Structure 1
């Protein structure tokens, strides 16, 4: 018999339009922790964090549409549509929930939480994309983002995109092989292309109408220096129950560089979510 997958049992959730979203679930407890990955990434990027959290709670790691084991989704892959798929996932799971989003996953979980599910109790944003970062709205950033998707697809077509998988080198086998296969081939490049096209428009929407987390605790783990750190600081200060945690000596992928820190912050929010 094959060994159990480190991220848990595999199953699918069907959306209202008949698509399947792939998830893996492990652990048990009063609280369900749902993990949202960054731009174009499958859920396996949480492979150093979710198994440890599963000792204290139910964990759900899933693949967005067009990524990993999930079906493709309708285009355009706007922030609203990504959050809509997360809504569908949450509707199939028992709460209360702690939502954890890294990079572009941060805005996705923020939008889902603001849309009214009362059993979303807390958010952890791991070096999130942040509309307070003025650099995102400069002409040079728009030019770079415009070429990022097409360039990625070109590199995938000639096999060079796989070299970028080294960012997940801390993942043990078989998770690293899965990470490379799901995220750095042609399909992974297409998913990144589809999402990155709507990254800056999505940030502009957030700047115009920031999602309201209500009274939920929101912890922001910031690895960015300079403008991004300043953006995270401003975002945490603007929230009624915001908290900033600085991930020293970490790059953008804090869940791979400093997994113990991420696990510690999730556990703190699990305790808050479980309180009556």
Structure 2
């Protein structure tokens, strides 16, 4: 039997790296946009374990690993938001001329927004699941930046000792066996934390610049899904700011939509995958 996430494929980038992707082809002759998923900061293709197969009932559905995560090798030139968006656009070009629906979770939200703004003619829509958004002022204060800086040595220690895997036991227990094997092999080693730290080095400064000059998405439909619950480092104040920012982001699109995931905190792809799949299906074909 094949893997639940489909067949593996290696995608070349413009500077010679290779990105690991997995493809579920969808039904023959479906005529719907290809759906491409972008994971959160330390996550890879397996974070879409419950969403991708559901989407593939109606469309080709592609997951991949950013450089330095999953099976994709690290990027020796760094992990700026610009380079992450370039990689995503290289991946889209590998799979055809579109149209594409891009789906991003957390940090993946800004990545898909920037990629879409650079080549909007091939983008049919965006679905952003609890994304990082520049309208949330809390992201740019000293307190958040200090917390982020101090967290990386702790996470690296957890990865070395196995505590990181134990802290995500709830996620492992919720995934099918082939996903779980992938995660146990790839998701909890120190290299993941190194990539996460490299992504964070310039990310907030790049996103902060969008407060004055956000990526131009034109008429691309944008659906933003917010978790309703606190947790995963988000207290009530942070959650309220995040959701207000999400509502604002959806309102910037002429066909924007803001949806609350009532049973979810930050990990909407795990706790309400059916909601994400339904919102993808609502977008125009």
| Separation of aligned partners in 1, 2:35 and 2:157 | 36
Given the alignment, which residue of 44, 47, 53 partners 2:46? Answer: 44
Structure 1 partner of 2:6 = 8
Structure 1 partner of 2:22 = 24
Is contact 2:120-2:217 (8 Å) kept?
no
1:1-276 equivalent positions in 2, closer than 5 A? 3-28=1-26, 29-30=30-31, 31-94=33-96, 95-168=98-171, 169-224=173-228, 225-269=239-283, 272=284, 274=285
Is contact 2:120-2:220 (8 Å) kept?
no
Is contact 1:165-1:179 (8 Å) kept?
no
| Separation of aligned partners in 2, 1:167 and 1:68 | 19
The aligned length equals: 269
What stretches of structure 2 of length at least 5 have no aligned partner? 229-238
Give the TM-score of the pair, scaled to structure 1.
Answer: 0.93
1:147-186 Cα deviation digits (max 9, x unpaired): 2223222221222221232352321212123123322112
Q: CA shift at 1:12, angstroms? A: 0.2
Aligned-residue CA RMSD (Å): 1.4
| Separation of aligned partners in 2, 1:117 and 1:218 | 12
| Greater displacement, 141-150 / 61-70 | 141-150
| Separation of aligned partners in 2, 1:125 and 1:5 | 26
Could you say what secondary structure the match of 1:207 adopts?
coil
| Separation of aligned partners in 2, 1:180 and 1:227 | 34
| Greater displacement, 251-260 / 222-231 | 222-231
Deviating beyond 6 angstroms after TM superposition, the runs of 4 or more aligned structure 1 residues are none
Give the TM-score of the pair, scaled to structure 2.
Answer: 0.90
Could you say what secondary structure the match of 2:210 adopts?
helix
Structure 1 partner of 2:231 = none
Q: CA shift at 1:81, angstroms? A: 0.7
Q: CA shift at 1:230, angstroms? A: 1.0
What stretches of structure 1 of length at least 5 have no aligned partner? none
Is contact 2:133-2:245 (8 Å) kept?
yes
| Separation of aligned partners in 2, 1:238 and 1:119 | 20
1:81-134 Cα deviation digits (max 9, x unpaired): 110100110111121100000000000000000002411110000000011101
Is contact 1:232-1:244 (8 Å) kept?
yes
Is contact 2:126-2:221 (8 Å) kept?
yes
